[in-house]
Amino acid sequence: MAKRFYVTTPIYYVNGAPHIGTALTTAVCDFERRYRAMRGEPAWFLTGTDENATKVTEAAEAAGQAPMPFVDAMSDRFRQEWKTLRIEYDDFIRTTEPRHAKVVQAIFERLRERGYVYQDKYEGWYDVGSEAFVKESDVVDGKSPDGNPVRWVSEDNWFFRLSAFGEPLLKHIEDNPGFLRPDTRRNEVISFIKQGLRDMCITRHNTGWGIPVPGDDTKVIYVWFDALINYLSATGWPDGDWESLWPADVHWMAKEIFTRFHATLWPAVLMAADLPLPKTVIAHGWFTFSGEKISKSKGGLITPQGLADEIVAASQCDPEIAIDVVRYALAAFLPYEGDKDFSVEEVERRYNSDLANDLGNALNRSLAMSHKFAGGVVPDAPIEADVESAIANSKRAYEAALENFRWDQAVDIAIDLIRFLNKYIDTRAPWALAKSGDPSLPNVLRSMLLTLRTAEGLLRPIMPYACDEIARQLGVDPLRDFSAIGEIATLPAGTTLATPKPIFPRIEMKQEPKPEPVVKPESKPEPKPEPPATPEVAELIGIEEFARMQLRIGRVLEAEPLEGSDRLLKLQVIIGEERRQIVAGIRASYAPLDLVGRQVVVVVNLKPAKLRGVESQGMLLAATDDEGKAILLQPDRETSEGAKVK
């Protein structure tokens, strides 16, 4: 079988539940697999759980369970969470599986035969929390560099001759610039190796949990030596078609397990076993909460499902869309180099700006105007040159970002294309082209729709469900071929467009209360000047009375003169997910075509009234000029339909 693109997460400890940090790494690998599939590259995605650790047995004991039932239940929790998040892995490996134990023991035996594993006595400190041996010089106040308590261990063990691989590792890193990413952490690894590598204890006393050392049942294999081999175990090595997967194309992980283990120990073990090294090993930063690293031991962690529930509660969006919003946030906030603070509030802000305001509005506007000016079908017209250029540039930039595995940049590129579209709509003003009979109107409309089709393709690895809905509203099948993205053939002329339906209802952000001004006791207020004369106000009202009026942003989908009146227009206005009919006395100021696609301010809790026998379900806000003509109020920049006016 031909070589597949092989992408892996680390395998996750089962001493605690999955959370937004573990979801980050897993989602990124899922994006990668979907992207490769769109490019026609056969891909294979591995994830799983690490179950042989000392701290797992302690967690099971604390839960009042035997280790195996405990790890069975915890492993299932990871599977369920990944299913919820639409993670499509090809293999889920557990280190308690016989297939893994068989390969670990075979690697151990091979290294022992080659002289890279030997027996000696270990005496020193051990960090159970990180499952790591710690140098005495690194122990401060009874804690390891990771901040965990350490224990003194003294026992006969087996050691791996890691010290033999310092120079070979440095040479491989130098000869393969893309091997370790990002560069900042690559440099940390080089510095770590140059300080001198020590031989590593790779077994522990057998307490009944773990993979026994071949030929020595008094010992089990150290969890980190055991766990790293999972990437090879999943290929079926040394039997079968294992070379169709190995070497791995990319290992993804968080930074804390990078330098000592994935960038040093793991490649050294492979060198000792005379096996190829993975092509790329990437360590992203941490999500932090108010500056603190995610920690299972501290509790209160954000879970993917919990975050999706928050988004549904705040926006009233489809729960399936909320899952895609979580996936989008993981890509957008990917801390590729440094760490990044993560909060529900920040996710909601990004949801509003990128998805509700930019993507959602672009889709609603484009479809509404295509229904009004092109009969609800894709016009048969060429794409305008500046749109063709923007689409091609976005696609190239997106590919370049993903050559470097920068999903955060890929998200920005896709959304920047949508922002270009919104500016393009404002500049080309299809409503004005329709009013003047400009022959370029069909070109503009099809250009708008193809830009949306392109964004659907670029966002598909990240938001598959939402992109299916965008494709449905565009009247086409989902775009799954990356090479076709941006091609006019993906949006055939004559395609019937669906009625626009908002996908991302706007979230009303909570306003932080303003602090009361502090007045020093000894200070005296300055005398106030006499206020200038002001026009008399007929009647003052309190804020409570004003708050009874509910004002929302709407968008005009249709406008026509009301039969029998030279003053009234009948409008169809979309407000959030609701469509309303409003009759407004603005015919003297606005032609119907000038209004289509325009955002307006609507009083939404006004009792319906009948004007000339036609029901009006709201009122538009407008000022008047010196001649008494209406001047409609509108936001000074685009926002989502249904946004509250305060």
Q: What is the pLDDT of residue 606?
A: 86
- Sort strands 622-624 and 644-645 into parallel, antiparallel or unpaired: unpaired
> Residue 296: is its pLDDT beyond 50?
no
Q: What average pLDDT does range 494-502 have in this prediction?
A: 95
What residue ranges do the domains of the chain occupy? Answer: 5-298, 347-490, 543-645
* b/e map 559-598, b = 16+ CB within 10 Å: beebeeeeebbbbbbbbbeebbebbbebbebbebbbbbbb
pLDDT digits (tens, 9 = 90+) for 308-361: 999 999 999 999 999 999 999 999 999 999 999 999 999 999 999 999 999 999
Check: CB of residue 20 under 8 Å from CB of residue 294: yes
> Residue 278: is its pLDDT beyond 90?
yes
> Residue 516: is its pLDDT beyond 60?
no
Q: List all residues 6 or more positions away from 482 whose beta carbon is below 8 Å from its beta carbon.
A: 35, 38, 39, 40, 457
- Give the three-class secondary structure for 347: helix
pLDDT digits (tens, 9 = 90+) for 452-474: 999 999 999 999 999 999 999 99
More confident residue, 329 or 646: 329
> Residue 175: is its pLDDT beyond 70?
yes
Check: CB of residue 636 under 8 Å from CB of residue 600: no
Token pair for 119? 């027996």
Q: What is the pLDDT of residue 140?
A: 87
> Residue 244: is its pLDDT beyond 60?
yes
- Given 1.10.8.870, 3.10.28.10, 2.40.50.140, 3.30.460.80, which CATH number is that of 543-645? 2.40.50.140
Q: Using N-to-C axis directions, what is the helix angle for 407-428 and 385-403, rounded to 10°?
A: 170
The CA distance from 444 to 631, in Å, is 27
> Residue 292: is its pLDDT beyond 70?
no
CA-closest candidate to residue 365, choices 451, 438, 443, 439: 451
DSSP string for residues in 5-60: EEEEPPPEESSS---HHHHHHHHHHHHHHHHHHHTT--EEEEEEEE---HHHHHHH
Q: What is the pLDDT of residue 297?
A: 44
pLDDT digits (tens, 9 = 90+) for 476-491: 999 999 999 999 999 9
Check residue 351 and report its DSSP letter: I
> Residue 126: is its pLDDT beyond 90?
no
Q: Taking the CB of residue 520, how many other CB atoms lie within 10 A of it?
A: 6
Check: CB of residue 347 under 8 Å from CB of residue 330: no
What confidence category does residue 525 fall into, taking pLDDT thresholds of 50, 70 and 90? low
Check residue 377 and report its DSSP letter: B
Q: What average pLDDT does range 9-17 have in this prediction?
A: 90
Burial class (CB in 10 A: 0-12, 13-18, 19+), 208: exposed
The CA distance from 408 to 335, in Å, is 8
Q: What is the pLDDT of residue 638?
A: 64
Check: CB of residue 329 under 8 Å from CB of residue 287: no
Total residue length of the chain: 646
CA-closest candidate to residue 405, choices 4, 48, 7: 7
The CA distance from 569 to 1, in Å, is 67
pLDDT digits (tens, 9 = 90+) for 584-619: 888 888 777 567 777 889 988 888 888 887 888 888
Q: What is the pLDDT of residue 558?
A: 74
The CA distance from 502 to 640, in Å, is 9
Q: What is the pLDDT of residue 327?
A: 98
Q: What average pLDDT does range 208-221 have in this prediction?
A: 94
Q: What is the pLDDT of residue 635?
A: 84
The CA distance from 57 to 53, in Å, is 7
Check: CB of residue 350 under 8 Å from CB of residue 504: no
Q: What is the pLDDT of residue 534?
A: 54
Output phi, psi for 523, to 5 deg.
Answer: -80, 150
- Going through 161-240 in order, the beta strands assigned E by DSSP cover 180-181, 200-201, 203-205, 212-213, 216-221
3-state helix, strand, coil in the chain (%, to 5): 45, 20, 40
> Residue 517: is its pLDDT beyond 80?
no
Q: What is the pLDDT of residue 533?
A: 54
Q: What is the pLDDT of residue 299?
A: 46
Check: CB of residue 132 under 8 Å from CB of residue 144: yes
Amino acid type, 501: K
The CA distance from 287 to 408, in Å, is 14
The CA distance from 171 to 161, in Å, is 18
The CA distance from 8 to 289, in Å, is 26
Q: Taking the CB of residue 151, how many other CB atoms lie within 10 A of it?
A: 12
Q: What is the mean pLDDT of the chain?
A: 90
Whether domain 5-298 has CATH 3.40.50.620: the reply is yes
Domain formed by 347-490, architecture: Orthogonal Bundle (1.10)
CA-closest candidate to residue 360, choices 129, 173, 599, 586: 599
Q: What average pLDDT does range 19-37 have in this prediction?
A: 97
CA-closest candidate to residue 453, choices 428, 478, 430, 429: 478
pLDDT digits (tens, 9 = 90+) for 420-438: 999 999 999 999 999 999 9
